[in-house]
Amino acid sequence: MANTRIFYATQKAGIAPLGSTTYTTLRGLQTLGMTTTFNLEQVFEIGQIGIYENVEGVPDVEISLEKVLDGYAPLYTLATQLATSASLVGRSKASCQLAVSIYPDTNDQAEGAPGAEVQMSGLFVSSVGYSVSVDGNATETMSLVGNHKVWVGLIAGTSNATYANTTPFTDNDNPLSITGSGGVNRREDVLFEYSTDAAATEGCASAASGQGTVLPQDIYGISASGTNDRDGNLQYGAHVQNFSSTVDLGREDLFELGRRTAYSKFVNFPIEVTTEIGVISTSGDLVSVTEEGLFSDPPCGGSNLTDRAIRLHMCEGLNLDLGCKNKLSTVGVTGGDAGGGNVEVTYTYSNFNDFSVFHPSDPNWGNASFTPGYLVGA
């Protein structure tokens, strides 16, 4: 019997390095979208109103994914298994392939013989971001771009599926981090625990070492080393409401004569990385500015800003390192209206090219280039 619909329990997705048929099934996946754009260019001619030819260019395929942070490998690490390091530039040239299998809509889980499977290859990461707030789950979002998408199984003349029967679901899945590190991570799973081992500090001389989240000192309540410490009543210095960091790689195609498709989808560095941190205000935003700059250096002027280190570390293993040169780009104050809402301050930071992702479930974990020099924790 043909499906009457497709819903979450009847589809399964996996990522493999380019050229491999060893797919890793995506666990904790929440959304999966595919868009195919046929790039058409019109050619007209003198002498008639009708179109001369509607020229078909190279089609663009874009896949958007979102997963919860749950101890399994982040999507970004699976899509960049061919990377040379965990940094943004180290992962920028790695490509992958993605397969999605569709199963009968009478199944309890994605197992058995699929009705169809779509295979996409030559995919590159186009954007990636991480977000955690006081409401809901901590999530990762990622988009992939490519030019190759083939359905197999239902279309005559196509090859058999290569991914469908591997790593089936059993209707008894659990987060990999279910024991000891929070399961699906939420607000309570942001780590604010720090090491005193000075030798473990890497890169940012003023930032705390160890596994703890490091935030900018512009935020009231954050220490001089970027720690969010608790007092004797176990109250944090800063009441952080949300944290999000995103980067759009803005890939461009490189073409050459004699070839229809692009021979490269390169990242046009420098790339801006944007981070937003929202907090409940207790004393205003406390960000002062002057025309001449608070940190003046006569006679050559001054500045109002200082480079800041930012790192996010979650109980399930994610360590997002945004480097040492994040600068405050905007600070906004909202709320506190007559309806009784709280005043919240949102700090937006910007850096360029610093976006390193580490995770113990990364297939490259253990390689020195994929393990931070400071302590990550168990």
Given a contact cutoff of 8 angstroms between Cβ atoms, the answer to whether 138 and 74 are in contact is: no
* Per-residue pLDDT band at 93 (split at 50, 70, 90): very high
Predicted pLDDT at 160:
54
- How far apart are the C-alpha atoms of 65 and 206, rounded to whole Å? 36
> Model pTM?
0.92
Asked whether residue 78 is assigned to any structural domain, the reply reads: yes
Asked whether residue 161 is assigned to any structural domain, the reply reads: yes
Asked whether residue 283 is assigned to any structural domain, the reply reads: yes
- How far apart are the C-alpha atoms of 164 and 227, rounded to whole Å? 46
- How far apart are the C-alpha atoms of 105 and 296, rounded to whole Å? 67
In terms of phi and psi (left: phi > 0; alpha: psi -120 to 50; beta: otherwise), the region of 356 is beta
Tens-place pLDDT, residues 189-238: 999 988 655 334 455 666 655 678 999 999 999 998 899 998 888 899 99
Structural domain harbouring 259: 8-42+53-370
**Mean pLDDT to the nearest integer, 309-326:** 94
Asked whether residue 36 is assigned to any structural domain, the reply reads: yes
Asked whether residue 375 is assigned to any structural domain, the reply reads: no
Given a contact cutoff of 8 angstroms between Cβ atoms, the answer to whether 251 and 299 are in contact is: no
**How high is the mean pLDDT of the chain?**
88
Predicted pLDDT at 267:
95
Predicted pLDDT at 377:
44
Q: Give Cα separations from 260 to 19, 59, 174, 217 (angstroms).
A: 21, 11, 45, 51
| Number of domains into which the chain is organized | 1
Share of the chain above pLDDT 70, in %: 89
- How far apart are the C-alpha atoms of 151 and 115, rounded to whole Å? 11
Measured in residues, the chain has a length of 378
What would the 3-class secondary structure string for the chain be?
CCCCCCCHHHEEEEEEECCCCCCEECCCEEEEEEEEECCEEEECCCCCCCCCEEEECCCEEEEEEEEECCCCCCHHHHHCCCCCCCCHHHHCCCEEEEEEEECCCCCCCCCCCCCEEEEEEEEEEEEEEEEEECCCCCEEEEEEEECEEEEECCCCCCCCCCCCCCCCCCCCCCCCCCCCCCCCCCHHHECCCCCCCHHHCCCCCCCCCCCCCECCCCCCCCCCCCCCCECCCCCECCCEEEEEEEEECCCEEECCCCCCCCCEEECCCCCEEEEEEEEECCCCCCCCCCCCCCEECCCCCEECCCCECCEEEECCCCEEECCCCEEEEEEEEECCCCCCCCCEEEEEEEEECCCEEECCCCCCECEHHHCCCCCCCC
Asked whether residue 346 is assigned to any structural domain, the reply reads: yes
- How far apart are the C-alpha atoms of 151 and 117, rounded to whole Å? 6
The encoded tokens of residue 218 equal 């512009």
Asked whether residue 47 is assigned to any structural domain, the reply reads: no
Asked whether residue 2 is assigned to any structural domain, the reply reads: no
Predicted pLDDT at 94:
96
**Mean pLDDT to the nearest integer, 135-150:** 96
Tens-place pLDDT, residues 151-190: 886 554 445 556 765 677 888 888 987 777 789 999 999 9
